[in-house]
Amino acid sequence: MLNTAHQSATDEYYNQPRPSILSHVRPGPNRILDLGCGSGALGRNLLAAGKAAEVVGVELFDAAAQVASTHYAKTYVGDIEGMDLPYERAFDYVICGDILEHLREPEAVVTKAHRWLKDEGRFICSVPNVRYWRIAYELALKGAWDYGDAGILDKTHLRFFTRASCLRMLSTAGFVVTSSQMLIYGRRYRLLNRLTLTALEDLCGTQLLLVARKAKDRS
């Protein structure tokens, strides 16, 4: 799980503003839990946009967490899988921005998030899309599954998701997905997706963004 390239608080890895996530948070005095918060770029933007009154973060690497703590109300340092945060129905949003793929048991963390959320709260997560055409092409035609320092096959990734598997994980944890968006980067891929009426969306997108609420029949 550890990657020395990701341990600097100023590394790009830790300073993603995440506008795609920001757009799914409603304006207001929300209390937000940001898991894998890095240096706190997302939280700073939420506060500046009037979409949060308080942000609590969890971050594995101390250098990044120290930067986040200058803006966040509370920043926990450590592995979220080993933490039992002292919250019960406390947050309007729990956000997992590209963190679940780094975990040994992401399902357990999603289940914890259900407990941390208010009854009308929202869970937002983004994960790499392993069904992206280039990954499928390299595996099916070349037999290649080569890890790197970044991207879908980042060598720190322990789990891999498709839209279907991510939807199933959230459903099992007691969530109902209200928005399922494949993030497509690159002009030609967005054009191809439009021309095919989104039929190839899961092959064109590199990242999946989901928003979910608690299922009504599960408290």
Question: Residue 141 pLDDT more than 90?
Answer: yes
Amino acid at 102: H
Residue-level pLDDT at 119: 97
Please report whether residue 179 resides in a domain. yes
Q: pLDDT by residue (tens digit) across 112-124?
A: 999 999 999 999 9
Q: Which of the four pLDDT bands, split at 50, 70 and 90, describes residue 200?
A: very high
CA atoms 120, 114, 207, 28: torsion sign:
positive
Q: Which of the four pLDDT bands, split at 50, 70 and 90, describes residue 216?
A: confident
Range of the domain at 65: 4-214
Residue-level pLDDT at 7: 52
Question: Residue 28 pLDDT more than 80?
Answer: yes
Please report whether residue 219 resides in a domain. no
CATH of the domain at 51: 3.40.50.150
Question: Residue 187 pLDDT more than 60?
Answer: yes
Q: Which of the four pLDDT bands, split at 50, 70 and 90, describes residue 128?
A: very high
Q: Which residue has the higher pLDDT, 9 or 96?
A: 96
- Are the C-beta atoms of residues 212 and 170 closer than 8 Å to each other? yes
Mean pLDDT of 16-39: 94
Residue-level pLDDT at 9: 47
Please report whether residue 134 resides in a domain. yes
Q: pLDDT by residue (tens digit) across 33-78?
A: 999 999 999 999 999 999 999 999 999 999 999 999 999 999 999 9
The whole-angstrom separation of Cα 87 and Cα 89 is: 7
The whole-angstrom separation of Cα 101 and Cα 96 is: 10
What's the total number of domains in the chain?
Answer: 1
Please report whether residue 46 resides in a domain. yes
Computed over every residue of the chain, the mean pLDDT equals 92
For residue 36, give both structure tokens: 């894998």
Burial label for 123, CB within 10 Å (0-12, 13-18, 19+), is: buried
Residue-level pLDDT at 17: 72
Q: Which of 13-22, 118-127, 134-143, 206-215 has the lowest mean pLDDT?
A: 13-22
Please report whether residue 101 resides in a domain. yes
Residue-level pLDDT at 91: 98
Residue-level pLDDT at 166: 98
Question: Residue 2 pLDDT more than 60?
Answer: no
In the three-class reduction of DSSP (H, G, I as helix; E, B as strand; rest coil), residue 22 is classed as helix
Query: Over pLDDT 70: what percentage of the chain?
Result: 92
